[in-house]
């Protein structure tokens, strides 16, 4: 008798450049297919389901503007995380750095009054950036001095940051005229991040994100410091031999990443939100991890993956209001994309082979 044809993974002599680019596209296609079955299981029209995720966010200039509003913090945080991950430093706590950046920026914004200079916006953005750097610096300090695991430390600090935000908005920073809601007063208009165009919520933060992508490309691929960061992540022994400091690489990676997350938090609270509330944490810090890896830790790739992830955010909100589906569907799609990407990435190092086993003769 003959055994069935078997599938096996055969190691490639070197990583496939083709699948490095095609793997995210295949992962997205598989995510869409799974999404179709998911909508059917929930008793919803899959065509309408896909429409709210992939058509509604781009069908009009206003929709595109809202897409950019969501993409801006995702891209900024992902750019910082890319420096960490390329340096083999696993900062999983960008959400906490985002929150602290928002808190510190919000504290500066609360100091403003109607007579404040428009330049206070610069102070707000700078304060948020420094706040995020300081929060990431705690992780760097514990890793540097006590060899603590940066994954656990940065992740646990997310919950501490969340408690700090709650303490302030439920306590000393609560708006006395806010009908007892846990929120600060609305920031003065002078603190508002300038918008790019009238009638749109898109702010100059979008330009900051795009300039940041260009700056990251220059840093990673055109400077000695960026080369040192990457060598330290890929080959620590070679980096030490070349005289690159692993300690400096750790601090640079975490401070850049924390500063980017804090900057995103400042732009968010002084932009679309306009005040501090318990709902400032929107999961951007965690979603940006997916953005970074789907974008292959490359600035150009992360621009497109940030747009894709913001479509998931907007699609989840629309699915809740129009189709009666839970908002958690956003997280489901994000998780599906990450897991399918991890699975498809196998094709970079392995090729699929169909093997036909030898015929086995049975006893007569």
Rounded to the nearest integer, the mean pLDDT of the chain is 92
Distances (CA, A) of 45 to 6, 58, 358: 37, 20, 47
CA dihedral 243, 245, 246, 247 (to 10 degrees): 160
DSSP 50-111: HHHHHTGGGSSHHHHHHHHHHHHHHHHHHHHHHHHHHTT-----HHHHHHHHHHHHHHHHHT
Decide which of 300 and 363 is more confident: 300
Nearest to 261 by CA among 105, 81, 109: 81
Residue 303 has pLDDT above 60, yes or no: yes
d(CA 103, CA 164): 8
Per residue in 94-127, pLDDT (tens digit) is 999 999 999 999 999 999 998 899 999 999 999 9
Burial of 106 (0-12, 13-18, 19+ CB in 10 A): buried
Q: What does pTM read for this prediction?
A: 0.93
Q: How many other CB atoms sit within 10 Å of the CB of residue 40?
A: 12
Pairing assessment for the beta strands 6-11 and 350-355 based on DSSP bridges: antiparallel
Q: 45-80 pLDDT, tens per residue? A: 999 999 999 999 999 999 999 999 999 999 999 999
How does pLDDT run across 306-343, given as a tens digit for each residue? 999 999 999 988 998 888 888 788 888 899 999 999 99
SS (H, E, C) 138-188: HHHHHHHHHCCCHHHHHHHHHHHHHHHHHHHHHCCCCCCCCCCCCCCCCCC
pLDDT digits (tens, 9 = 90+) for 244-289: 888 999 999 999 999 999 999 999 999 999 999 999 999 999 999 9
């Amino acid at each position: 008798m003959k055994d069935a044809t078997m599938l096996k993974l055969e190691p490639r002599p070197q990583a496939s450049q083709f699948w490095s680019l095609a793997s995210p596209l295949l992962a997205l296609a598989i995510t869409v297919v799974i999404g179709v079955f998911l909508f059917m299981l929930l008793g919803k029209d899959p065509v309408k389901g896909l429409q709210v995720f992939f058509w509604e966010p781009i069908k009009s200039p206003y929709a595109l503007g809202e897409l950019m509003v969501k993409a801006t913090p995702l891209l900024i945080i992902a750019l910082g995380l890319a420096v960490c991950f390329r340096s083999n430093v696993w900062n999983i706590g960008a959400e906490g750095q985002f929150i602290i950046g928002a808190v510190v920026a919000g504290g500066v914004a609360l100091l403003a009054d109607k007579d404040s200079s428009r330049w206070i916006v610069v102070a707000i953005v700078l304060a948020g950036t420094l706040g995020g750097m300081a929060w990431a610096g705690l992780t760097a300090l514990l890793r540097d001095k006590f060899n603590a695991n940066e994954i656990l430390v940065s992740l646990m600090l997310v919950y501490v940051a969340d408690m700090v935000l709650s303490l302030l908005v439920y306590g000393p920073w609560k708006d006395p005229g806010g009908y007892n809601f846990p929120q600060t007063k609305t920031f003065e208009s002078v603190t508002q991040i300038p918008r790019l165009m009238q009638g749109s919520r898109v702010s100059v933060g979008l330009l900051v994100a795009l300039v940041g992508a260009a700056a990251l490309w220059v840093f990673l691929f055109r400077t000695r410091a960026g080369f040192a960061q990457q060598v330290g992540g890929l080959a620590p022994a070679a980096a030490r031999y070349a005289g690159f400091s692993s300690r400096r690489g750790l601090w640079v990676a975490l401070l850049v990443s924390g500063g980017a997350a804090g900057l995103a938090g400042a732009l968010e609270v002084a932009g679309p939100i306009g005040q501090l509330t318990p709902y400032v944490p929107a999961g951007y810090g965690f979603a940006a991890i997916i953005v970074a890896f789907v974008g292959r830790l490359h600035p150009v790739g992360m621009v497109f993956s940030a747009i894709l992830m913001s479509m998931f955010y907007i699609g989840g909100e629309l699915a809740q209001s129009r189709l009666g589906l839970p908002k958690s569907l956003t997280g489901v799609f994000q998780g599906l994309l990450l897991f399918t990407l991890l699975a498809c990435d196998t094709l970079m190092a392995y090729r699929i082979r169909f093997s036909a086993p030898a015929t086995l003769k049975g006893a007569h």
